[in-house]
Structure 1
Amino acid sequence: MRRYPRTGRGAVAPVAAIALLASACSPGSGPGGSGELDGVELTVAAKWTGAEEEGFRAVLDEFEAQTGASVSYESTGEDTGAYLGPKIEAGEPPDIAALPQPGLVDEYAERGELVPLSGAAATTLEEEYADYWQDLGTAGDETYGVLVKAAHKSLVWYRPDAFDEAGVQEPATWDDMVGTTSSTLSDAGITPFAMCGASGWTLTDWFENVYLSENGPESYDQLAAGELSWTDDSVVQSLETLADVWGEDDLMVGGRDGAVQTDFPSCVNQVYGQEDAAMVVEADFVAAPAREAGATVGENAVAFPFPAVGEDPPVVVAGDIAVAMTENEGVPELMAYLSSAEAQELWAEQGGYLSANSEVPTGAYEDEFTQGLAQTVLDAGEDVRYDLSDQVPSAFGATEGSGMWAILQDYLRDPGDPEGTAEELEQAASGS
């Protein structure tokens, strides 16, 4: 049976002894603080753009004000690996990178391209993050990263006014959503879904939620680990389930052709800006572009849990793991700051953000709706699962124009052959 080449991810390694004085492990005492890093220049790379980038820049601005360092931000685009590869080969990696896939932590750690976590950042990870979150930044018996930005990926965002106009309620099951809710919306002249098909990762989110709910955590884990073939009947069944929506042109803005040409966050604007659709399936970070479109989160931009396809509704999470790629001056201090409750509370205030740090109070989020989402991340139980496409090798699960992204885009264009699509997924997963 095929297994993906991965290092173990068992118990988190013992935290390294603190090697820096407390004053060197955290930023200064406040804005305009110690200036201990005057003249130090640092670079951080992450995939965030738009409102997400603006929120992160507010955090970097505060670090600069407290320490005197200068931090530049580089957007990697959707394919973080493709961005970092040439940088690493040229010997010019960013000082810190936010990796959107645990699989990338494994890959870079195996090649010796990451600096193990130590000092105040390691202490914060041990003391303020649950074991579930600590494990995500671990490769083999070493810890390299901290989950600095979490995402709740089992949400369906909607416009309450559209639901009220059609006379429908939040659905509890998949059949309710694609049957009663969608058909009633359509009858009222309201297109049910905006799709973000041009951003292939959003389609993997649809698949993962359906697969987890329909087949359960054990099969999900086996599929993620390469212990279950992608041609398995369970995969074919979930693809057939997706076709309940993906196969119906009138359920999505622009039909399938329009859906596969609409990226994230343009799909969010189709719901909350243009009001062309009632719903969009995507994570909590929809909040930021919804605000940009003029919506108020918790009032006219709300979400319900991804409905149960099988017995239980799914809970899929994802996130971005900060890792150090150099040992340059200032890197330990910035890693410590990014992992801290102080920085993440500021980040939470910007919107479009969830923290996995248990010391970040839910009151840091500006509305009750987001506060509730934040609590679900902190309370993640044993049935929650990390984004499957982010667990497999990035060449298969997280590369634009190939692997899962491209295959599911093709399936969205024409969902008439689930068995053939499953075979394509298997071939891509095995590298053949």
Structure 2
Amino acid sequence: MALITTRKVLAVAGVAALSLTTAACGSSSDGGGGSESTGPDTTDYSDWCGMKSELQGKSVSIYTSIVTPEDASHKASYKEFEDCTGVKINYEGDKDFEKNLPQRAQSGNLPDIAFIPQPGLLQTMVDTGLAIPASETVGKEVDEYFGEDWRKYGSVDDELYAAPLGANVKSYVWYSPKMFKDKGYEVPTTWDDLMSLTEKIAADDPGAKPWCAGFGSGTATGWPGTDWLEDVLLRTAGPDVYDQWVDHSIPFNDPKVSEALGKVAAILKDPKYTNGGFGDPSTIATTQFQDGGQPILKNKCYMHRQASFYASNWPEGTKVAEDGDVWAFYLPSVDESSKPVLGGGEFVATFRDAPEVKAFAAFLASPDWANAKAKATKGGGWVSANKGLEVKNLVSPIDQQSAEILQDPKAVFRFDGSDMMPSAVGAGTFWTQMTNWVKGQDDKTTLDNIEQSWPQN
């Protein structure tokens, strides 16, 4: 049986105070003589393993947008918790998660835990009155291992509801080191360099395209397009304007946003530049995001802007390294003096008040789970902002690089804008209008339609 590192996970307010120790499912041996009481209603489950555990035979249901192939490592990462507590974790992945979670709230069919990738959707779920605030233990873990910004992303009206889970760096461009080397291309370090390289590739190789992309993602189709706009706006207008746009202090169709969308259009809507391996630019709308970068392996495409998690979508056996089949470079800013980073992640929201649910939520917020997940992700493509994550446990060099970026206090990091917006916009019109845009709708109509959809209250 796998071992769990020494630390305590205290589940407060009538839930388990679990000692995760190096004893393989034995009683607590962390030097403290067992779990410490944190309140009159706290039960000491220092003998929580095996048949003595009051959690034995319980189950916790998880609902998430994380599906095959990324779900396998998630399930594997729960094994330590399941083996030691006797709690069974029931995992359900759904490509239409963002649409179906609110509907399940209406029908009274909520899971125990949902991994919510949008703070805006978290707000929506809290507004139903069915979400349960995070326990005191989870709050302490978030403060210790994630910090103020991540607490804010998982909070509603300054109350923490959901601890961060996974994280990702979105400001990457995937490419083939071999193709670049064979053509004598250098990785661009400014936006002008990137556009010059795009033009050169188009002129040099008529049998391929500089770029490939896919916006398809079930009812979430369009989200990769929102990432494009956010990444470029962060570079052209800066983090302050980006923040104002996200919280609607400036309108969605502000001239600075229009300028950024124009730069995106100069790549994605030019038939000379996209959509390598699939067809004209309109095919981006129907190409599944998992498939978007695959033409790189067939020499049909040179570059694909997608997050660090895309590493898990390459076929088995693909070498992801600087000298491998594929690698990724930082999406350059307007100049080399600024390096903003766009990122995202999921948050663990709970909907059932039970010891096993809160205990598992506490486990997920801990370094124990972060490191177990890293080890379980054999092919790479996952990272966390948890400061207790040991970078050496990450298999992929791209994940290691991403973790270092996320843990760097000097990084100019901004969370995915659409995920921060009201869900009707961020997980609604922003997605659909970007899909219409890549099919041929003009920039002004696209931005105006999204602005008009912004909730008035």
Change in CA separation of 1:140 and 1:186 when aligned onto 2, cut-off 3 Å? same
Of 410, 413, 418, which residue of structure 1 is paired with 2:436? 410
**Within 2, Cα distance between the matches of 1:21 and 1:398?**
34
Q: Secondary structure at the match of 1:195?
A: coil
Residue equivalent to 1:50: 68
Code of the residue aligned with 2:155 in structure 1: it is T
How many Å separate the matches in 1 of 2:395 and 2:202? 31
Work out the CA distance in 1 between the residues paired with 2:202 and 2:77.
Answer: 41
**Greater helix content:** 1
Distance in 2 between the 1:422 and 1:77 partners?
26
Q: Distance in 2 between matches of 1:373 and 1:182?
A: 29
Which residue in 2 is equivalent to 1:294? 318
The Cα shift of 1:78 comes to: 4.4
Partner of 1:150: 167
Report the more deviating stretch, 21-30 or 39-48. 21-30
Matched, 1:187 2:204: yes
Deviations 1:106-138 (A, max 9, x none): 222233221111143232222222222222111
* Within-5 A mapping of 1:316-335: 316-335=342-361
**Within the alignment, does 1:393 sit opposite 2:411 as a pair?**
no
Q: Note if 1:261 corresponds to 2:290.
A: no
Q: Distance in 2 between matches of 1:20 and 1:327?
A: 9
**Matching residue within 281, 295, 301 for 1:277:** 301
Alignment CA distance shift 1:382-1:228 (3 Å): farther
**CA drift at 1:386:** 0.9
Partners in 2 of 1:307 and 1:332 — Cα distance? Answer: 42
Secondary structure class of the residue paired with 1:197: coil
Using the aligned pairs only, state the percent identity.
27
Instruction: Give the drift of 1:379.
Output: 1.2
2:99 matches 1:86: no
Deviation per CA, 1:299-319: give whole Å up to 9, x if none.
Answer: 322111111136634311110
Cα 1:108–1:28, aligned 2, differ >3 Å: closer, same or farther? farther
**TM-score scaled by length of structure 1:** 0.88
CA 249–413 in structure 1, closer or farther in 2 if over 3 Å, else same = same
Question: Partner letter of residue 301 of structure 1?
Answer: V
CA contact (8 A) 1:178 1:244 kept: no
Contact 1:28 1:67 in 2 (8 A): no
Offset at residue 182 of structure 1 (A): 4.5
**1:27–1:67 contact (8 Å) kept in structure 2:** no
Distance 1:157 1:187 in 2: 19
Which amino acid in the other structure matches residue 429 of structure 1? W
Which of these residues, 252, 255, 268, is aligned with residue 246 of structure 1?
A: 268
The one-letter code sitting in structure 1 at the alignment partner of 2:349 is V
Distance 1:26 1:327, change over 3 A: farther
d(CA) in 2 for partners of 1:231, 1:337: 42
CA distance in 2, matches of 1:354, 1:142: 25
Q: Deviations over 1:230-249 (max 9, x none)?
A: 22211111121112112211
C-alpha distance in structure 2 between counterparts of 1:146 and 1:43, whole Å: 17
Moved more, 259-268 or 85-94: 85-94
Correspondence for 2:363 among 337, 353, 356: 337
Mapped to 2, the partners of 1:52 and 1:62 lie a distance apart of 19
Give 1:201's aligned amino acid: W
Conserved 8 A contact 2:150-2:164: yes
Match of 2:404 in 1: 375
How many residue pairs match? The answer is 411
CA offsets per residue over residues 244-300 of structure 1, 9 Å max, x none?
Answer: 11221131221213222211101132223x442121111100110125373334432
Match of 2:214 in 1: 196
Match of 2:38 in 1: none
Q: Show the counterpart of 1:75.
A: 93
| Structure 1 letter corresponding to 2:175 | Y
Query: In the aligned structure 2, how far is the partner of 1:233 from the partner of 1:369?
Result: 35
On the 8 A contact 2:296/2:302 being kept in 1, the answer is: yes
CA distance in 2, matches of 1:85, 1:25: 35
Q: Is 1:229–2:254 an aligned residue pair?
A: no
Q: Are residues 1:126 and 2:151 paired?
A: no
Q: 1:112 aligns with which of 110, 114, 129?
A: 129
Q: Structure 2, unaligned stretches of length 5 or more?
A: 1-9, 27-47
Whole-Å separation in 1 of the counterparts to 2:94 and 2:24? 30
Q: How far, CA to CA, are the matches of 2:399 and 2:349 in structure 1?
A: 27
**How far does residue 79 in structure 1 lie from its aligned partner after superposition?**
4.2
Cα distance, 1:431 vs. partner? 7.0
Does the 8 Å contact 2:16/2:356 carry over to 1? no
Check if 1:60 corresponds to 2:89. no
Is 1:171–2:193 an aligned residue pair?
A: no
Structure 2: which amino acid aligns with 1:266? D
Query: 1:195-218 deviations in whole A, cap 9, x for unaligned?
Result: 012231101010001111101111
> 2:71 is matched by which residue type in structure 1?
E
- Quote the residue 2:41 is aligned against: none
Residue 91 of structure 1 and its aligned partner are, at CA, apart by 2.1
Measure the CA separation in 1 of the matches of 2:317 and 2:65: 21
Q: What does residue 421 of structure 1 align with?
A: 446
Give, in whole Å, the separation in 1 of the partners of 2:214 and 2:250: 28
Counterpart secondary structure, 1:50:
coil
SS in 1 for 2:292: helix
In structure 2, how many angstroms separate the alpha carbons of the residues matched to 1:156 and 1:78? 26
In 2, Cα distance between equivalents of 1:98 and 1:21: 21
Aligned equivalent of 1:137, options 130, 149, 154: 154
Larger Rg: 2
Give structure 1 stretches of 5+ with no counterpart: 1-15
Aligned to 1:384: 413
Q: Distance in 1 between matches of 2:317 and 2:434?
A: 28
Residue 116 of structure 2 is matched in structure 1 by: 99
Aligned counterparts of 2:83 and 2:194: Cα–Cα separation in 1? 48
